[in-house]
Amino acid sequence: MTEPTTIERLRCERLANPLGMDVAAPRLSWRLSTERKGARQVAYRVTVQDRWDSGWVENDAQLVVYGGEPIAPHETAVWNVEVRDETGATATSEEATWSRGPGEWQSEWIGGPLFGGPRTASPTPELIRGFRLDEKPTRAVLYATGLGVYRAKMDGERVGDHELAPGWTVYSKRVRYQAFELDLAEGDHEWTFELGDGWYAGHVEWRGRHLYGDRPLVKAELHLWFGDRHEVIPTDGAWDAAYGPSLQADLIMGEHVDARRGREAIVPVRPAALDIPIVHQGNEPIRAVQEIKPISIVRKGGEWLIDLGQNMVGWVRVNAKGQAGKTLRLRHGEILDAKGDIYLANLRTAEQIDYYTFRGDDEGETFEPRFTFHGFRYVQIQGLAEEPTLEDITGVVLHSDYERAGDFKCSNELVTQLQRNIEWGWWGNSLDVPTDCPQRDERLGWTGDAQVFCRTANFISDAQAFWEKYVQDLSDEQGPEGQIPPTAPNTNAVGDDGGPAWADVIAIVPWDTYEATGDAQILRAALPAMEAYLGWLDTTSDDGIRCGPNYHKFKGFGDWLNINAETPQEILGTAFAAFSADRIARSAAVVGDTELEAKARASQEKFKLAFRKRYVTEDGLVMPGTQTAYLLGLHFDLLEDRGAAIDALVTDIRQRGDRLSTGFVGSPYLNHVLTAGGRSDVAFDLLNQKQWPSWLYAVTQGATTIWERWDGWTHDRGFQDIGMNSFNHYAYGAIGDWLYRSVAGIAPGEPGYKRIEMKPQVGGDLTWAEAWHESPYGRIESSWRADGGRFIWDILVPPGVTADAHVPGRDAVCEGASESEGRFELTSGRWRIESTL
């Protein structure tokens, strides 16, 4: 019997049944589900009840834009999809929904009257409003946003499950609101907000508090419908503010709670007159996504050292008993020192300490923070009256709640663990913004880190909405001359120009995300910023040389944390200028801006020729001969003679004992360039290297995330410079992109994986590798093993997709498909290919 086609994963603006949207013509998408060979969509019909009917459209698109009249504020649209497949059969999806937000806001910004100074904390306020309903509403929707972070409660029960809402944006340009459906009964109700300083009023980096404002604020509206009657309860001057158990709630310093305290100092709120655009949160919120239990508890003097077994980001929930007035102290750190004590020196001014003072309940109490987060594996607890059990301690993991989109594993357990470290590093550094690290006083959205890791992130997670939000942050922070800052949102701690590889994020992340999703909306949104950035590159370069001798402004961070192989900034600058111009030209072509495309191509050629003239010798060598200089020349297609450059690169690697010397900038391209140049053997030697600098060195030392430095800790020197030594820093995890593309053999042959390029590399000590990835069209699987001179490869191709499968070895066979020069063109379904190695 033929397996039927079903329709799944209906999404509106890449979200499942979103509430309160403000997009008039949202994107609607779906996937087909079947493993039938050759399955594909030949026509679709999208129906939005009482609003729009696309009619039957004869094509295979699975992403369309709503074509009806915009729905009114607060209204809900109900939609579904019908599909006709290649057999002529039709399938109908289940219904999905989206709703519109409030339109014009009727409420005020309100907050408590107390606030601390740049170096001093203040109690966190609770805002209170009571109201009575004479009848049960037929519908109730709460819209809320904040400057700082908030939790809403209704009658003492938490509303929603978002953490650290509404997240972090460029506050001068926009804040985001969230929407929640409520079920309210007739009678008296108490509506409250708990507020934390968050990114707005608390510590964000090393310069103290109040980088944006001096106190947290909230703005919200409760909309109630009683049949045809519509009422609104807003935040306004009728609310009260109280100060209670929470004495401090700071993202970096930690949270202090005195459970003995009730509501105190109830006073009227202080409204604030602010004119800030308010938009819907178009990406997944931060949530508590996982809980983990300790693997050990050890007594250290009068304290308890908890090992959660995983460097994670979030907080700890503790169940304990204590006398009233006794205080717990929880200190968080990533690693232990030589004495087995928790290592805290690398936190700089960040404290990462939570305090809880008992109220003295006989049956015990539970402490769980709300408005902070920590980067840690170990927790040192002081003040427990009795020995804790494993069940008393829980690590609560936070990150933006995107869906998992892939996994990789192989026969080498260290490489598989490397991939796990990459994943945990990404999860811990994606709390609404792609940060460099989650523990010290520098939890910023560094642009260089983001652009090198974006392709790996897109294999691990369905992060399209996350990246669309980040691109908006980048555009909001763009300077008047087109420059892009080193962080976004930008606190201005390190200037307004990121320099080579950092500022180029505006050209790289949109394109890489388009390649992964096939959705050009991110290109359309970014193109004005790209065009302005291209103007910045053209006007600040000198005869095609970026950051040359005559340029006296900031020249960038270089190949950050390279190993004794500094690549001049003008080489990095000129190479990345050419690369960005190429990405801008490609983006303009997709969007249909032929004028910008031509302009960008001309700029690319200018930078490319300048690079060749200044840095490439007559015999094809790239000066000054660093690995990164060769990598940029090769990967960015700047060289005429690739052979000499590949040979020189390999020679340098061999002379270093099969070790790399690259930093943040060069490392992502290293194994890609070697593989493309026919030297995957060298790529596997680098992958399998266990001495530093290497990817596996940290793994052999017990790391569970990616380190900031290749030598964050070594046996002979101990810890690196405490000023910059994070043990959760995803940048070097960009090797994950190569593991998926080249080891497992899953890569987009066309944007969005409409065509898959499958070319697995067999090498090193690997006897098998397998990976899966959830593409926009469905699940892709690649699983191979090398056994007794035979290569056996199992593949799953999703409906409507074609895979070009390049088979290692010779004499390849695949039932139902014909081979051409070691390549099979596969339609959807499950396939097995075998060859002789």
Q: How many CB atoms lie within 10 A of CB 359?
A: 16
How far is Cα 83 from Cα 7, in angstroms, rounded to an integer? 8
What class, spelled out in words, does domain 6-99 have in CATH? mainly beta
Residue 92 parent element (H or E): strand 90-92
Interval 765-795: pLDDT, tens? 999 999 999 999 999 999 999 999 999 999 9
818 vs 548 pLDDT, higher one: 548
pLDDT of residue 599: 99
For helices 594-615 and 627-635, the axis angle rounded to 10 degrees is 140
Mean pLDDT of 462-490: 98
**Buried-state track 6-26, b at ≥16 Cβ within 10 A, e below 16:** ebebbbbbbbeebbbbbbeeb
Q: 109-249+261-286 and 289-392 share one CATH topology?
A: yes
Q: For this structure, is 566 an active site residue?
A: no
Per-residue confidence at 409, pLDDT binned at 50, 70, 90?
very high
Mean pLDDT of 539-551: 96
Per-residue confidence at 1, pLDDT binned at 50, 70, 90?
low
Contact 467, 454 (CB under 8 A): yes
How far is Cα 403 from Cα 98, in angstroms, rounded to an integer? 19
What class, spelled out in words, does domain 109-249+261-286 have in CATH? mainly beta
Q: How many CB atoms lie within 10 A of CB 834?
A: 15
Kindly tell me if the per-residue pLDDT of 416 is higher than 90. yes
Q: Which residue has the tokens 């052979």?
A: 643
How far is Cα 168 from Cα 170, in angstroms, rounded to an integer? 7
Mean pLDDT rounded to a whole number for the chain:
97
pLDDT of residue 192: 98
pLDDT of residue 166: 99
DSSP assignment letter at 808: S
CA distances for 816 relative to 592, 794, 806, 819, angstroms: 39, 14, 16, 10
Q: Which of 13, 255, 423, 708 is catalytic?
A: 708
Q: For this structure, is 442 an active site residue?
A: yes
How far is Cα 96 from Cα 16, in angstroms, rounded to an integer? 8
> DSSP secondary structure string, 124-174?
PEEEEEEEEESS--SEEEEEEEEESEEEEEETTEEPS--SSBT----TTT-
User: Which of helix, strand or coil describes residue 193?
Assistant: strand
Q: Which of 442, 477, 515, 774 is catalytic?
A: 442
Percent of all residues in the chain with a pLDDT value above 90, rounded to a whole number: 96
What class, spelled out in words, does domain 444-642 have in CATH? mainly alpha
pLDDT of residue 117: 66
- The matching CATH number, chosen from 1.10.274.50, 2.60.120.260, 3.40.718.10, 3.30.1340.10, for 289-392 is 2.60.120.260
User: Which of helix, strand or coil describes residue 358?
Assistant: coil
Q: What residue spans define the domains of the chain? A: 6-99, 109-249+261-286, 289-392, 444-642, 751-836
How far is Cα 200 from Cα 212, in angstroms, rounded to an integer? 5
Could you tell me the pTM of the whole model?
0.97
Contact 276, 175 (CB under 8 A): yes
Q: How many CB atoms lie within 10 A of CB 279?
A: 17
Picking from 401, 611, 479, the residue whose alpha carbon sits closest to that of residue 170 is 479
Q: Provide CATH code, domain 751-836.
A: 2.60.420.10
Per-residue confidence at 2, pLDDT binned at 50, 70, 90?
confident
Contact 263, 244 (CB under 8 A): yes
Give the chain's largest Cα–Cα span.
87
User: Phi/psi at 482 (nearest 5 deg)?
Assistant: 105, -5
